[in-house]
Amino acid sequence: MTILVIEHEDEAPIGILGERWQEVGHVLDIRRPYLGDDQPAYLGPEHDALVVLGGYMGANDDAEHGWLTQTKALLADTTRRGEQPVLGICLGHQLLTVAMGGVVGRNPSGRAIGLTPIGLTPSGHADPLLTGTDGHDAIQYNDDVALENPSGATILARTADGRTQAARFGPLSWGVQFHPEVTGAIFSAWSGATAEQVSSAYAAEPTLRSTWTAFADRFLALIPSARS
């Protein structure tokens, strides 16, 4: 199977998820539009899933980062068709929120950074992708959040202050505000983290890898060709 990955900056790679998917024999088609790579207008049969990663830019920064308009269109079209799984991570989650009619802006609680526990809702406990992650840690790093979720979105997890942590936007479309892909090394390259936060991320890496490798496997299981 081939997974299309949209990367928005070189310091925010596919990490744990990509390592797992390649380990079990799948192909990553990584597009870097910030370096001039093309994005498809339509997710065709040559791709089995779509993953959109994080980045320092905002979901509404199309004027400065022109490729974001096309990324949002690709996310919306793939979500609405419901033929291939979609996963938006951090900025990817925010782009998906906007693409489906929601509103993203500055987090009223300020920057969220470091390890954070997942707080599943009842819908999250029953969700085939997020199930089993309640209380498990993930790394977060974001200034923006979903201020208004799109009509029809199902909230799967919330932060301690009530912000959307994960949502489902269609039968095969998920967004997570946290970073299931990030290792201690990736996190340490991001400016703004304290030495204590970086140390905690490295110390938690064995658990992070266990939790989010299982998440990666569940995502693969949602690909229709994997179920046939």
| Residues taking part in catalysis | 90, 179, 181
Buried b / exposed e across 144-157, counting CB within 10 Å, b at 16+? bbbeebbeebbbbb
By CB neighbour count within 10 A (0-12 exposed, 13-18 middle, 19+ buried), where does 1 fall? Answer: middle
What phi-psi label fits residue 20: left (phi over 0), alpha (psi between -120 and 50 degrees) or beta?
alpha
Kind of pairing, strands 154-158 and 137-142? Answer: unpaired
CB atoms within 10 A of CB 227: 7
| Cβ-Cβ contacts under 8 Å for 109 (sequence gap 6 or more) | 161, 163
